């Protein structure tokens, strides 16, 4: 794009976007993007009207607060070009990029990325369009390879590490297994004992922990009874014999375990996760929030990963689960899914089976 050669400078908006994952793995920081396009704008003689950023926003949708602002500025007129470092900063979906370009053209504004390969001719547009589709195809292949790699890792008996481990555990040095973290696990043991042996309600346990000043699992000020319920119901805290684990994992995984020890079970691939961005109107105006939905997968798709024994006696876990098995779904958990048994069922001494029907909870850590 030629410079203005002393004429009135063209007016530009600088746009930068990054998602959390990209910022962590690819170095696509907002500061780095802005620095690159500032240099380009100065070199080409543009007058920068405004710098607009979209931190933590996906390029899979045009519904972003920063992009809304750019579109409003373009609609107001007198914008020559919107500059970004890469074409996929505007949109990852080629169709969205095309729609955005056509929308801006109606107001005499062009979209320009530093990695544009074509020009303003039909042939140039075709070149960029083909390359956008190839980039989309490569992203899809990468996502598929990543998912298959995670499944393979779990089948090998290794933790697929998320942002944080389950409460009561820490990741090992390789982030492929758990180690018991006593300051938190002692709280889990105590919760199971209070509910299963002492007969306290989940609410009473929450209030007792708050009175004693025990830090919450989620970092908030109050203990959530659904988190406490999860301590009882999640198989990661329940001891399983070697024989039980042997039935759940591949032979090569079982061969690495000590037959004399018991283990918890960390389940992988239990849920289908979908993420969308929804618009919300608040005191500060319109904004986009990330909405995550979970749907349970068939049990035969779950993958069991053995983890260190939590140290909670099996009888205590059974008693605690029996104490909460008649709890009903709470209004705050309408959109959550949960398998109360955690996937492994045992009969109580009285012969009553543990129901495997959905009920409420949230996970404070290690959700998968």
Give residue-wise pLDDT tens across range 239-270: 999 999 999 999 999 999 999 999 999 999 98
The per-residue pLDDT for range 39-95, each reduced to its tens digit, is: 999 999 999 999 999 998 888 788 888 999 999 999 998 999 999 998 889 988 877
Rounded-to-integer distance, Cα 275 and Cα 291, Å: 6
At 169-217, the pLDDT tens digits run: 999 999 999 999 999 999 999 999 999 999 999 999 999 999 999 999 9
* pTM of the entire predicted model: 0.57
Same domain, 175 and 281: yes
CA-closest candidate to residue 265, choices 212, 307, 231: 307
78 occurs within a structural domain: yes
- For the segment 131-156, the average pLDDT, to the nearest whole number, is 77
Contact 107, 77 (CB under 8 A): yes
C-alpha dist (Å) from residue 256 to 152, 161, 182, 245, 269:
17, 20, 24, 12, 22
276 assigned to some structural domain = yes
> Do 270 and 214 share a structural domain?
yes
Same domain, 105 and 174: no
In terms of domains, do 182 and 319 share one? yes
In this structure, is residue 153 part of a structural domain? Answer: no
What is residue 203's predicted lDDT score, i.e. its pLDDT? 96
Structural domain including 33 reads 11-116
Residue 266: what pLDDT?
A: 96
* 56 contact partners, CB below 8 Å, separation of at least 6: 18, 19, 20
Domain-embedded: residue 91: yes
What is the average pLDDT score of the chain? Answer: 81
Indicate if 171 and 249 belong to the same structural domain: yes
Same domain, 103 and 173: no
- Residues 324 and 210 occupy one common structural domain: yes
Q: Indicate the pLDDT class of residue 26, thresholds 50, 70 and 90.
A: low
Domain match, 53 and 171 both: no
Task: Show the tokens assigned to 179.
Answer: 């180690």
In a domain, 143, yes or no: no
Q: How many domains does the chain have?
A: 2
Vertex 56: Cα angle to 55 and 61 (nearest 5):
100
Considering the domain boundaries, does residue 126 fall inside one?
A: no
| Residue 151 included in any domain | no
Residue 239 belongs to some domain of the structure: yes
pLDDT for residue 32:
92
d(CA 205, CA 28): 45
Output the domain CATH number for residue 100. 3.40.50.1390
């Amino acid at each position: 794009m030629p410079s203005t050669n002393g004429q009135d400078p063209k007016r530009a908006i600088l746009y930068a976007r990054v998602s959390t994952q990209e910022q962590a793995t690819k170095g696509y920081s907002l500061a780095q993007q802005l620095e690159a396009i500032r240099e380009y704008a100065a070199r080409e003689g543009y007058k920068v009207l405004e710098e607009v950023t979209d931190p933590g926003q996906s390029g899979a949708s045009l519904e972003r607060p920063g992009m809304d602002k750019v579109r409003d500025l373009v609609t107001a007129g007198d914008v020559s070009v919107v500059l970004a470092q890469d074409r996929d900063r505007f949109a990852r979906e080629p169709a969205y990029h095309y729609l955005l370009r056509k929308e801006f053209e109606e107001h005499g504004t062009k979209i320009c990325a530093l990695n544009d390969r074509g020009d303003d001719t039909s042939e140039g547009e075709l070149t960029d369009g083909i390359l956008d589709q190839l980039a989309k195809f490569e992203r899809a292949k990468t996502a598929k390879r990543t998912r298959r790699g995670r499944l393979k890792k779990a089948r090998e008996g290794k933790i697929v590490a998320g942002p944080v481990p389950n409460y009561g555990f820490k990741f090992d040095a390789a982030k492929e297994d758990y180690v018991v973290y006593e300051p938190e696990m002692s709280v889990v043991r105590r919760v199971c004992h209070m509910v299963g042996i002492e007969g306290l309600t989940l609410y009473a346990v929450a209030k007792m922990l708050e009175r004693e000043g025990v830090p919450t699992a989620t970092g908030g000020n109050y203990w959530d009874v659904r988190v406490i319920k999860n301590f009882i119901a999640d198989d990661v805290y329940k001891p399983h014999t070697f024989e039980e684990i042997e039935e759940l994992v591949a032979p090569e995984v079982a061969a690495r375990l000590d037959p004399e020890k018991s283990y918890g079970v960390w389940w992988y691939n239990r849920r289908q996760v979908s993420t969308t961005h929804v618009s919300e109107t608040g005191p500060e105006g319109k904004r986009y929030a990330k909405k995550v939905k979970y749907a349970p997968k068939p049990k035969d798709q779950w993958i069991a990963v053995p983890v260190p024994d939590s140290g909670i006696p099996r009888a205590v876990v059974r008693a605690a689960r029996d104490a909460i098995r008649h709890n009903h779904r709470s209004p705050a958990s309408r959109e959550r899914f949960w398998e109360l048994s955690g996937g492994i069922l045992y009969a109580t001494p009285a012969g009553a089976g543990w129901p495997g029907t959905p009920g409420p909870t949230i996970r404070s850590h290690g959700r998968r």
